[in-house]
Amino acid sequence: MKPDYELSSAEHEELHAVLSGIEEHPYRDYSAFSKAVAEIVESGRVPAFFVDVCARIRAERESESATIHLVRNCPIDESVPELDHDDPVADRHLKKTTFVGEALLELSARLLGNPLLAYARNKGSFFTDVVAINRYSGMLTGYSDSELFFHNDRTAHAVRADYTSLLGLRCPDGELIYTGYIDGRALLRQLSAEEQEVLRRPLFVTHFDVFSKAHNKDLSLSETHPILENGASFRYLDTMTTVAPDAPPEAKDALIAMKNAVVRAERVRHRMRTRDLLLFANQDGLHSREKIEITDPDSARSRWLLKTYAFRDEETADRHADKWIDGVRGLVAD
Q: DSSP readout, 122-135?
A: GTT-SSEEE---GG
**Total domains present in the chain:** 1
- How far apart, in Å, are the Cα atoms of 280 and each of 69, 141, 218, 258? 6, 19, 30, 21
Residue 231's SS3 state is coil
pLDDT value, residue 333: 86
CB 80 within 8 A of CB 150: no
Burial of 45 (0-12, 13-18, 19+ CB in 10 A): exposed
d(CA 184, CA 227): 11
> Does 69 show up as a binding residue in the annotation?
no
d(CA 147, CA 42): 41
The gap between the terminal CA atoms of the chain, to the nearest Å, is 33
pLDDT value, residue 122: 76
CB 232 within 8 A of CB 187: yes
- How far apart, in Å, are the Cα atoms of 54 and each of 5, 45, 318? 10, 15, 23
d(CA 321, CA 319): 6
CB 19 within 8 A of CB 75: yes
Residue type, 100: V
d(CA 282, CA 295): 30
Write out the residue range of the structural domain in which residue 122 sits: 5-332
Cα 218–chain centre separation: 24
What is the DSSP code (8-state) at residue 208? P
CB 161 within 8 A of CB 269: no
CB 104 within 8 A of CB 18: no
Of the candidates 157, 101, 160, 153, the residue with the CA atom closest to the CA atom of residue 127 = 101
Q: Mean pLDDT in runs of 10 for the chain (334 residues)?
A: 96 98 96 98 98 98 96 97 93 94 98 96 88 88 89 92 98 96 98 98 91 69 95 96 97 98 98 98 97 94 97 96 93 87
d(CA 178, CA 289): 6
Residue 177's SS3 state is strand
What is the DSSP code (8-state) at residue 136? G
Crossing angle between the packed helical segments 48-62 and 100-112, to the nearest 10 degrees: 50
pLDDT value, residue 140: 81
Of the candidates 159, 164, 252, the residue with the CA atom closest to the CA atom of residue 203 = 252
CB 277 within 8 A of CB 75: no
Note the pTM of the prediction, 2 decimals.
0.95
pLDDT value, residue 216: 66
What CATH number is associated with residue 208? 3.60.130.10
pLDDT value, residue 144: 86
pLDDT value, residue 213: 67
